[in-house]
Amino acid sequence: MTGVGETLRGAREEMGLSYQDVEESIKIRAVYLRAIEEERFEELPGAAYTKGFMRTYAKFLGLDGDAVIAAYLSMAAVLPEEPAPSAPRRLQGARPAFRRTALLATAAVAVIIVIVLSFYFNPAEQKPISDPPGLSEQNQPEDAAPPVTPEVSDEPAEPAEPVIIEGLVVEVAYSAPCWLDVRADGEPVFSGTKGEGESLRIEANEYGEFVSIGATEAITITKNGELLPGFTEHVTRNFRVTADVPRLAPPDGGQDE
């Protein structure tokens, strides 16, 4: 059987692609692509990355990725791949900073309302002022107005309106190496490759955008804790996740589930 590197090189050259062309498409550095084709595997960043790079490269060239990996394992005399890990659990990260700030502000407003209402509904007891010496009830002015007793309403105060907090938390879990180029609200937040078992968290106010995904089958994406459907294409560009469902903070200022 032809060597793994020679097979990949032949497929690339048949498609008329340079290393730079492939790097721009799957976001694997040209120096790694050359090392794979020349079978200098010791120059690659570990066995997990090597297998991930080779599978992605092979699929991009229209080859059977599993067959290429099997040939590589046979050449390297290593153990077969371990069983694929189970689907990653949804990540329960810390709440965004803007959520904590809004909740603290809501709690502060509630405290102020309670203090004001306590003064309004519990007025200080008014002690009657005794008449000065020599001024009896008979000799008070006829046009003197009677003392006014403040009225206290029995109606309870209306609860404060709940605060609507808009925000977005996107979490990515990796089952194999994958290149990502990600922006949050239009600002770059990550560009690079992570490997098996790693994760990535993106926080945004309006939207998160995956400018480029090099190997969609190697990642799963959750939006505000909800798992999104998988992709049908191997390489995806300009995939956007929007904060289209506002999250509601409880009226008492506590954290939601």
Domain containing residue 69: CATH number: 1.10.260.40
Q: Is position 153 within any domain?
A: no
How would residue 45 be classed by pLDDT, with cut points 50, 70 and 90? confident
- Domain with 31, as residue range(s), is 4-76
- What letter does residue 167 receive in the DSSP assignment? -
Q: Give the CA distances from residue 202 to residues 2, 151, 208, in Å, rounded to whole numbers and listed in that order.
A: 43, 55, 7
What was the pLDDT predicted at 248? 40
Among 76, 93, 121, the domain boundary falls at: 76
Q: Is position 130 within any domain?
A: no
The mean pLDDT value for 73-77 works out to 76
In angstroms, the CA 243 to CA 96 distance is: 13
In angstroms, the CA 208 to CA 29 distance is: 25
What was the pLDDT predicted at 17? 93
What was the pLDDT predicted at 166? 64
Q: Which residues of 51-74 are buried (b: 16+ CB within 10 A; e: fewer)?
A: bbbbbbbbbbbebebeebbebbbe
What was the pLDDT predicted at 84? 43
Of 52, 63, 53, which is closest to residue 14 (Cα–Cα)? 63
* Ramachandran assignment for 62, one of left (phi > 0), alpha (psi -120 to 50 degrees), beta (any other): left
What was the pLDDT predicted at 71? 85
3-state secondary structure of 41: helix
What was the pLDDT predicted at 80? 44
- Segment holding 179, helix H or strand E: strand 178-184
Among 45, 76, 107, the domain boundary falls at: 76
The total number of structural domains that make up the chain: 2
Among 19, 54, 76, the domain boundary falls at: 76
